[in-house]
Amino acid sequence: MRPRNLRWLLLSVLATGCAQTVQVKPAPFARSEAFKAIRKDALGFLDHDFTGDGVPDAVVVVRSGPGVSARVFVQEPSEQGAVWSEACAGPVILGEELDILRWIEPGPRQLLLVVASSENPDILQQSYALFPANQPCTVIFQESLKLARPGYDVVSLGEVPGGVLVDESDRVHVIDKSRSVRLNGAAGEVEVLTAVRERVLD
């Protein structure tokens, strides 16, 4: 009887040890209670491991007052299930709509680019901010642009660029302050585009 009891005891100890080390697998942010609480205000999110523990976290852009803001949520798997909690919130970026939310690597480090906009018949306002990947609530650079909408036709040699654009090399181009000449023709008033200001953010 003793060997049988000893075998049962060893199996019990092993089972208890395994139970203590087993953790629930990470859960998708979209299915979490944290996301459900902000879903009506959320405009988009990206998965990312902010804590370096191999478990995916999330950065979410939500409506906030006169604009939007980036909020970071991290998760910790446990035996009771993955627990999501808010780690930080970034500043407000003016704009009603989310235009761009993406990771870019224009150089040696990865950055988060958030672009928001709002418009009316006369003005398109576009605001953007750059955040470091390891500190996504700390702004490196932030700016707002106001792009006028002329009330007449614009003539140019090609597509009229404007606002914030990202090229194939992940470089951010900021195009604004267009210059033009207004002319009267047989078909009415037109505006001929002569120049725009373009900056490339390093």
For residues 14-25, give the mean pLDDT.
48
pLDDT in tens, 22-77: 455 778 899 999 999 999 999 999 999 998 888 899 999 999 999 999 999 999 87
pLDDT reading at 20 higher than 50: no
pLDDT in tens, 136-145: 789 999 999 8
pLDDT reading at 13 higher than 50: no
Domains of the chain, residue spans: 23-201
Contacts of 119 (CB under 8 A, 6+ apart): 125, 149
DSSP run (H or E) holding 11: helix 2-21
Torsion angle of the four alpha carbons 12, 16, 19, 21, in this order, in degrees rounded to the nearest 10: -130
Token couple for 151: 């009330």
pTM of the model: 0.75
Distances (CA, A) of 72 to 136, 137, 160: 7, 7, 36
Tell me if 131 sits within 8 A of 83, measured CB to CB: no
Count of C-beta atoms within a 10 Å radius of residue 174: 18
In whole angstroms, give the CA distance from residue 202 to residue 101: 18
pLDDT reading at 92 higher than 80: yes
Token couple for 52: 């370096």
Tell me if 147 sits within 8 A of 95, measured CB to CB: no
For residues 103-130, give the mean pLDDT.
90
pLDDT, mean over the chain: 79
pLDDT number for residue 30: 92
Conformational region of residue 60, where left means phi above 0, alpha means psi within -120 to 50, and beta covers everything else:
beta
